[in-house]
Amino acid sequence: MPGSTLKRVVVAGGSGLVGRPLVRALAAAGAEVAVLSRAPKRLDLPWGAMGYEWAHLSNLLEGADAVINLAGEGIAEGRWTRARKQVLLDSRIQTTDRLVQAMAKCQRPPAALVNASAIGWYIPRDGAPVDEASAPGTGFLAEVCQAWEAAALKASDLGVRVARVRIGVVLAREGGALPKMVLPVRFYQACKLGSGTQGLSWIHLEDLVAILVEAAGNPAWEGAFNGTAPEPLSNEAFTRLIAHRLGRPMLPIPGFLTAGILQLALGELAQALLLQGAFVRPAHALDLGFAFRFPTAQAALEDLL
């Protein structure tokens, strides 16, 4: 069973959309899971997992098989004011720094650090597909992702194997982008955002959890990995699939109109997260033989909607 070689794993940010099913999967595979949280008492954890304050970090890391770091404030929650951007950056870099500094004090540092990053690393991009060998993009998200990965990579100086997972738009029933995309289609009509030609690189939550578990337990998983499905689509093609699945029509609204409205409502966030994109391929995971349960958007949406 994947992950069954993992005896003791520390998960930072394990209470969120990705963390909850990840902790369940690790515990189900027989691992003892320590979940680092700012509020461990409120966590509802499966048998085999325990919540801890960050203050307990050093003891937990000693000799652990892997650390999986997902911690960070929600990128899409609220307008990107200068202060909010600082919070988004600090909540990722400071937590990652804290993990690596604690590893440096261990007599036996953890064998692996699997650190979240995001496909914002590549954005903005034109229609050409990108993979892990491609150059980074520009702008706030690309800068956050590069700084986040650089902070994680410092663990490799301690002999820790580091896998950086550039996560795409996570598709899940219980939260994230999909319920927000589906709501207007279900009750009204579907419409592409802006030109609709921007890449939308997505991943089914179940496949992302499997990638994180594999990266934690398999020594071959080192370096950058795109946590995306093999079939990225344009925003328009993805929206059409949702509309088709729900039996709703596509509304022919001109791109400049939706782009203008989104920019007015959400500012820079709209441009960076909704109106720009990239067609990101998971070349590294495929090279290592990872088999996606939901390789196509159609399969993922049939499962989730």
Ligand X SMILES: NC(=O)c1ccc[n+]([C@@H]2O[C@H](COP(=O)([O-])OP(=O)(O)OC[C@H]3O[C@@H](n4cnc5c(N)ncnc54)[C@H](OP(=O)(O)O)[C@@H]3O)[C@@H](O)[C@H]2O)c1
Options 73, 143, 222, 268; binder of ligand X; rule CB under 6 A: 73
Options 19, 110, 124, 137; binder of ligand X; rule CB under 6 A: 19
Only segment of 66-74, 127-135, 180-188, 193-201 that touches ligand X (CB under 6 A): 66-74
Q: Toward ligand X, which CB reaches closer, 64 or 208?
A: 208
| Amino acid symbol at 298 | Q
Using CB under 6 A, count the residues that bind ligand X.
Answer: 24
Whether 230 and 292 have beta carbons less than 8 Å apart is answered as yes
The sign of the torsion formed by the CA atoms of 154, 156, 61, 222 equals positive
Only segment of 31-39, 60-68, 235-243, 283-291 that touches ligand X (CB under 6 A): 31-39
CB of 56 to ligand X, least distance (A): 13
CA 54 and chain centroid, separation: 21
C-alpha torsion angle, residues 114, 115, 117, 122 (rounded to 10): -60
Q: Does 13 bind ligand X (CB under 6 A)?
A: yes
Only segment of 32-40, 57-65, 212-220, 254-262 that touches ligand X (CB under 6 A): 32-40
The SS3 of residue 264 is helix
Helix (H) or strand (E) holding 112: strand 112-118
The SS3 of residue 115 is strand
Q: How far apart are the first and last CA of the chain?
A: 28
Alpha-carbon gap, residue 73 to 163, rounded angstroms: 21
Site for ligand X in 99-128 (CB under 6 A): 116, 118
Q: Does 83 bind ligand X (CB under 6 A)?
A: no
Comparing every residue's Cβ against ligand X, the nearest one is 16
Site for ligand X in 231-250 (CB under 6 A): none
Alpha-carbon gap, residue 83 to 103, rounded angstroms: 30
Q: Does 60 bind ligand X (CB under 6 A)?
A: no
Residue 220: closest CA among 124, 284, 302? 284
CB of 70 to ligand X, least distance (A): 4
Alpha-carbon gap, residue 136 to 248, rounded angstroms: 37
Q: Tokens for 189?
A: 């009509």
Q: Does 97 bind ligand X (CB under 6 A)?
A: no
Only segment of 12-20, 184-192, 257-265, 293-301 that touches ligand X (CB under 6 A): 12-20
CB of 118 to ligand X, least distance (A): 4
Q: Toward ligand X, which CB reaches closer, 73 or 222?
A: 73
Binding-site ranges for ligand X (CB under 6 A):
13, 15-19, 37-39, 70-75, 91, 95, 116, 118, 167, 169-170, 176-177
